[in-house]
Amino acid sequence: MSLKSLVLAAALSVSISGAALAETIKVGVTPGPHAQIMEKVKEVAAKKGLDITIVEFSDYVVPNQALADGELDANSFQHKPYLDAQVADRGFDLVSVATTVNYPMGVYSRKLKSLSEMPDGGSFGIPNDPTNGGRGLLLGADAGLFKLSPEAGLKATQLDIVENPKHIKIKELDAAQLPRALDDLSAAAINTNYATQGGLDPNKDPLFKESAKSPYVNIIVVRTKDKDKPWVKTLVDSYRSDEVKAFIKDQFKGSVLTSW
């Protein structure tokens, strides 16, 4: 065998050996920034011997059920208050293993140039899941549209509205549908990933924006029994890498904030 053949054979052997050592996991995300960031995480993780298959879900409800059922190994789409609510309501044995990024929720409108223009009896859309619905109400209150009871906390509902001088009507819709519903609403509180997916610019378009110090930092979630497995550390380290941080900064120009 020639020297060239020996080198090729050795390279092929190393390649096959490396492929055999690679571990594959499935990670659930929602479309938009979560999916885009996970594509970059996938690149970084591949260098560490972890192959990530990205599975996209169009809503917030299914990814935790899919993880609990073993159809996923991890997901990256939600914040801690949402996970806590899902665990309490549905009994999932899931746990957060790392914080990732914060997507400040914004108030958007196609009819108003300023929230001071909100008409009497105007409509304000919020997500229809309890956690993000409460987040939307808190954002509306911070924007001065109405006042909530001081005891409302993160789980605010319409019943917690104590002052509503403009008689604003709260419309609860699926979070993914809110950008399309802006033609029918005076304004809406929209999560950044769905705003981006709906063609809105989270930097320029919000009439009011959530503080970067909000409690709604996103997280990586796994089944509790898997939290100490080596691949979890590799996934977390890949996500919280300098390469991913630089990608987020360059790609989203401040509309997505890193937690590390």
Which tens digit of pLDDT belongs to each residue from 39-59? 999 999 999 999 999 999 998
Residue 191 has pLDDT above 50, yes or no: yes
Question: What domains sit in the chain, N to C, each tagged with a CATH number?
Answer: 3-103+216-258 (3.40.190.10), 106-209 (3.40.190.10)
Q: Residue with structure tokens 């090729």?
A: 8
Between CA 155 and CA 130 the distance in angstroms is: 7
User: Residues near 152 by Cβ (< 8 Å), separated by ≥ 6?
Assistant: 134, 137, 138, 160
pLDDT (0 to 100) of residue 8: 44
Cβ burial, residue 31 (10 Å; 0-12/13-18/19+): middle
Q: What is the mean pLDDT of the chain?
A: 91
Q: Which amino acid, 104?
A: P
- Interval 102-126 mean pLDDT: 96
- What is the mean predicted confidence (pLDDT) over 189-203? 92
Residue 21 banded pLDDT, cuts 50, 70, 90: low
Share above pLDDT 90 across residues of the chain, in percent, rounded to a whole number: 80
pLDDT band at 13 (very low <50, low <70, confident <90, very high): very low
**193: pLDDT confidence band, cut at 50, 70 and 90?**
confident
Q: What is the pLDDT of residue 12?
A: 46
Average the pLDDT over each of 169-178, 207-216, 225-234 and give the range with the smallest value: 207-216
pLDDT of 138 > 90? The answer is yes
Query: How high is the pLDDT of residue 4?
Result: 45
Query: Does residue 37 surpass a pLDDT of 60?
Result: yes
Q: Give mean pLDDT, residues 110-129.
A: 97
Task: Name the pairing type of β-strands 50-56 and 23-29.
Answer: parallel
Q: What is the pLDDT averaged over residues 164-192?
A: 97
Q: What is the pLDDT of residue 103?
A: 85
Rg (CA), the chain: 22
Does residue 14 carry a pLDDT above 50? Answer: no
Query: Is 60 exceeded by the pLDDT of residue 90?
Result: yes
Measure the CA angle with vertex 161, ends 158 and 165; round to 5°. Answer: 120
CA within 13 Å, CB half, 137: 28
pLDDT at 253: 86
Q: Which of 3-17, 90-104, 186-200, 229-243 has the lowest mean pLDDT?
A: 3-17
At residue 10, the pLDDT reads 46
State the average pLDDT over residues 131-142.
95
pLDDT reported for residue 215: 86
